[in-house]
């Protein structure tokens, strides 16, 4: 392994397909070669905030994330250390008491809605990817996901989407697309995108 890993940032709007793309890449590359970090793990801890108030917070705003901890963890991974990544519980809108130990690897993928927004984080990436998917398709995917996986109601999901998700996408996430080296439509469903990223990862692995 090189002294410094190859870092890839994968950004995009909610339910754009960035997670599917990143997870497919991780499976194809193998755990021994690729470490996957999800921005969702780095929501700021809100243990002292009542649940009713946590449910109303804007989780698509840059202030919702602990950027310092994420940057510290990436610096540690780059130095060859294992890091304790927080485990976030979406049903209670807060970090759980668990952590996920992530070991250093020759390739590190950081995936999340705003990974191309924060300047210090963005500057770490050797390859910056933005997954671009139509708004209506993203909303449909979010409705299905949040009902099935996060115990939300349709009315609650739509209200949150209109109040915070859509405005934050337009103000922060969509503009971050200009920082991308490559823009892929449809994320993990785009087989050509997966193959291109895998080829880039393999190219790096061969020279590491």
pLDDT at 189 (0 to 100): 73
Q: Pick the closest to residue 95 from 65, 71, 75 (CA basis).
A: 65
Q: What gap in Å lies between CA 4 and CA 79, rounded to an integer? A: 7
pLDDT at 11 (0 to 100): 96
Contact call for residues 113 and 142 (beta carbons, < 8 A): no
pLDDT at 1 (0 to 100): 46
* Residue 1 covered by a domain: no
Domain that holds residue 169: 6-206
* Residue 74 covered by a domain: yes
* Residue 174 covered by a domain: yes
Q: Which tokens sit at 118?
A: 């924060």
The strand pairing partners of 34, in sequence order, are 107
Q: Pick the closest to residue 21 from 203, 192, 202, 204 (CA basis).
A: 192
In tens digits, the chain (208 residues) has pLDDT values of: 446 899 999 999 999 999 989 998 898 888 888 999 999 999 998 888 888 888 888 999 999 999 999 999 999 999 999 999 999 998 888 899 999 999 999 999 999 999 999 999 999 999 999 999 999 999 999 999 999 888 889 998 999 999 999 999 999 999 999 999 999 887 667 788 888 888 887 787 666 6
Q: What gap in Å lies between CA 40 and CA 131, rounded to an integer? A: 16
In order of 16, 120, 153, the CA distances from 136 in angstroms are 10, 31, 18
* Residue 127 covered by a domain: yes
CB atoms within 10 A of CB 151: 11
pLDDT at 47 (0 to 100): 84
pLDDT at 191 (0 to 100): 82
The DSSP element (H or E) to which 86 belongs, if any, is strand 83-89
The CATH number of the domain where 155 resides is what? Answer: 3.40.50.300
Provide the domain count of the chain: 1
Q: Pick the closest to residue 164 from 7, 23, 58, 43 (CA basis).
A: 58
pLDDT at 197 (0 to 100): 85
């Amino acid at each position: 392994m090189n002294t410094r890993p190859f870092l890839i940032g994968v950004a995009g709007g909610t339910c754009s397909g960035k997670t599917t793309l990143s997870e497919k890449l991780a499976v194809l590359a193998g755990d021994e070669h690729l470490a996957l970090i999800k921005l969702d793990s780095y929501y700021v801890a809100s243990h002292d905030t009542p649940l009713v108030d946590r449910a109303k917070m804007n989780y698509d705003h840059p202030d919702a994330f602990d950027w310092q901890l994420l940057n510290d963890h990436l610096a540690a991974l780059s130095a060859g250390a294992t890091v304790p990544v927080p485990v976030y519980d979406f049903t209670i809108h807060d970090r759980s008491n668990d952590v996920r130990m992530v070991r250093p690897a020759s390739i590190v993928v950081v995936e999340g809605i705003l990974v191309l927004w924060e300047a210090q984080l963005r500057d770490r990436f050797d390859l910056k990817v933005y997954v671009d998917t139509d708004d209506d398709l993203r909303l449909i995917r979010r409705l299905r996901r949040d009902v099935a996986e996060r115990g939300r109601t349709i009315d609650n999901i739509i209200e949150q989407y209109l109040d915070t998700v859509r405005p934050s996408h337009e103000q922060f996430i969509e503009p971050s697309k200009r920082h991308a080296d490559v823009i892929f439509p449809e994320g993990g469903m785009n087989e050509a995108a997966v193959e291109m990223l895998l080829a880039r990862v393999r190219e790096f692995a061969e020279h590491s």
